Structure 1
């Protein structure tokens, strides 16, 4: 890992993890297979960056963790965060309603 401006690799690592997180969010948002990140998105990014910015920038893209390795865990973390927020709101509220669908359709 390369050293960041502060003399540590932390800044670089944080940016690559953030990039992987953002890619994973888009994959989840568009309801695509978790493997699409490594099979399509990352190769496209590598080609585009190589053409536009050169091989140095391409090396930085290669440092991004493969999305397929992180998508499932990131989706789980986002899901847990949403669940915790909803539970907090319910616990703080004096009243709440629950609406259920009576449909028997599977």
Structure 2
């Protein structure tokens, strides 16, 4: 082995792999790179150290307010789809995420505590999302032909509910909104 290759191996070797085994590994597994420049190996090492890992995804520096807000909206949508009480966010979901982080990933749960899932926050987010959906539907209906069907129903405590169905063609397919 040439002197430059030995120098490369000395720079890249660490205490867990002896120099002789590192040379054998380079010859056996990476023979195409035996004559590569030292800068190639240094670049490889830098890329490896800077790679995204599961642990780095959960560190506080990567969890920005935008990501926390996005997660809050996604969880609020799930809560709305289930029809459960909005307090389930703080009473069940946050403790569940916290338990998962502590038990499975052995991570600190301080970021979970910053996740906005209070009853008022979930309610506000659901209202915002429904208003946005309504605005999008109105904009679609301004440019399309549509039909309307109304249905009256009664809830358990004798409350009357008026439901309106709108049917229209969206991108060649029939669409229906309530």
Contact 2:79 2:89 in 1 (8 A): yes
5+ long unaligned stretches in structure 1: 6-10
TM-score, length-scaled by structure 2: 0.48
Aligned CA RMSD, in angstroms, stands at 2.2
Return the match for 1:32 from 66, 78, 84.
Answer: 84
Contact 1:20 1:67 in 2 (8 A): no
2:150 maps to 1:100: yes
Change in Cα spacing, 1:25 to 1:67, as seen in structure 2 (3 Å) is farther
2:137 maps to 1:86: yes
Q: How many residues align?
A: 96
Q: Deviations over 1:35-73 (max 9, x none)?
A: 0111111111111111122343x1121221134232111
Separation in 2, partners of 1:60, 1:69: 20
- Trace 1:11-22 onto structure 2 (pairs within 5 A): 12-22=64-74
TM-score, length-scaled by structure 1: 0.76
Change in Cα spacing, 1:87 to 1:27, as seen in structure 2 (3 Å) is same
Q: Deviations over 1:66-89 (max 9, x none)?
A: 342321111111111111111111
Contact 2:72 2:117 in 1 (8 A): yes
Larger helix fraction of residues: 1
5+ long unaligned stretches in structure 2: 1-58, 155-178
